[in-house]
Amino acid sequence: MEMKYKLTGLDCPNCVARMEKVIGKVPGVKSVSINFASGKTIIVYDGNEAEVSKNAEAAAKKAEPKVVFVKA
């Protein structure tokens, strides 16, 4: 299954790479793709959507506290 987000507050491509890495380690996340230019984010996951979403956001906030997730 897939979750789509629009991220705001992305500062640089390195931030995107760091966020992809930490989100990718969240239990249930199969893959994550973040487009720096558009902020478009796709998370492919297995399991409970609410739990994976909450944990992915928390992981991303630890890596980049200024980033805001908006469900697309």
Which CATH fold would you assign to the domain 2-71?
A: Alpha-Beta Plaits (3.30.70)
Per-residue model confidence (pLDDT) at position 11: 87
- pTM for the complete prediction? 0.92
Q: List, for residues 12-50, the tens digit of each pLDDT value.
A: 999 899 999 999 999 999 999 999 999 999 999 999 999
Provide the CB-side half-sphere exposure for 58 (13 A, CA). 9
Per-residue model confidence (pLDDT) at position 5: 96
Average of pLDDT values for 49-68?
A: 94
| Residue 72: pLDDT over 90 | no
CB atoms within 10 A of CB 71: 8
Between residues 10 and 2, which one has the greater pLDDT? 2
The tokens describing 58, both together, are 């928390």
Per the CB < 8 A criterion, the answer to whether 67 and 10 are in contact is yes
Nearest to 22 by CA among 53, 62, 51: 62
3-state DSSP helix/strand/coil percent for the chain, to nearest 5?
Answer: 40, 30, 30
